[in-house]
Amino acid sequence: MIPPLWVAGPVELTGALAQSYRRWGGEVRVLEDAPLPVLQPAGRIMWLARPDSASPATALFERCADLAPAEVPLTLPDSTAALLVLPLVLTARGVLYAEAIGVAGRYLWQPEPLSDKARQILYRFARGLVDLLEPLTPGVYMVYFAVVCGAVRFEKLIAHPDRTALVTLTSQRPDLFCCHWRCALGLPVVDLQVHRPTAAAFVGDWPDDLLLRAALEPEASLDAAAGLVLVQAPTLQQARSGLEAILGETETDTGR
């Protein structure tokens, strides 16, 4: 039996992790604004946001900024992403690398099309980052790279699945929220696979016609807490086309 779990952070992230944990029979409580000394919850607390006060997560950010080189020996002239996010799943047995997530404005997708050579360069950089920051707590880490005129630069490391990880709820098995709690509890994560390429967009308002168009798209789903529309398909191009049909936007609008 898995132990009770407390989660803290933005509602769209705590909701995704709680749903995953409950599917496995676990009990989850969302930690609200009450101070920890008063609450004294039983069970593990998982933070899905950077704590404001001094903490190991804060120290990790500072060490990462000081130690990691900014330049990455890689150019991606054909990429439409403004950001690449490489998820690392740090298990008790080592590091697993998920497929990169592309981000352009409010749009995100997985997998970002990369050559094997580009993947290996990103993997080596991320592995070096892990080595610099050891020891790290098992869990999911999101490594951010900026892509400017094809040049790739390291930006930051986030020590938990963030909003970009929501795209993996339909694209990847197991998704990053499931990976995070499994690693934290010492449970195995054997492999990461893209199940169905997914394109997604954060939408501020939910007009009725958008909901209707989404209902007509056979592989679309909505995350109301995050304001996220997701479309999965056999190929990334088909997923993007489905997303465009729902949003009524063009290829240029969606970052292609």
Give residue-wise pLDDT tens across range 70-116.
Answer: 788 899 999 999 999 999 999 988 999 999 999 999 999 999 999 99
Q: Is residue 120 located within the same domain as residue 236?
A: no
Closest CA to 158 of 140, 170, 176: 140
65: amino acid identity, one letter: A
**How would residue 244 be classed by pLDDT, with cut points 50, 70 and 90?**
very high
Encode burial over 181-198: b for 16+ CB neighbours within 10 A, e otherwise.
bbbbeeeebeebebebbb
Q: Is residue 32 located within the same domain as residue 64?
A: yes
Q: Is residue 13 located within the same domain as residue 112?
A: yes
**How would residue 253 be classed by pLDDT, with cut points 50, 70 and 90?**
low
pLDDT per residue over 161-180, tens digit each? 999 999 999 999 999 999 99
Q: Is residue 140 located within the same domain as residue 28?
A: yes
pLDDT per residue over 210-219, tens digit each? 888 888 888 9
Domain span at residue 215 reads: 196-256
| pLDDT tops 70 at residue 42 | no
pLDDT per residue over 18-29, tens digit each? 999 999 998 888
Q: Is residue 109 located within the same domain as residue 232?
A: no
Q: Can you give the pTM of this predicted structure?
A: 0.89
Count the domains in the chain. Answer: 2
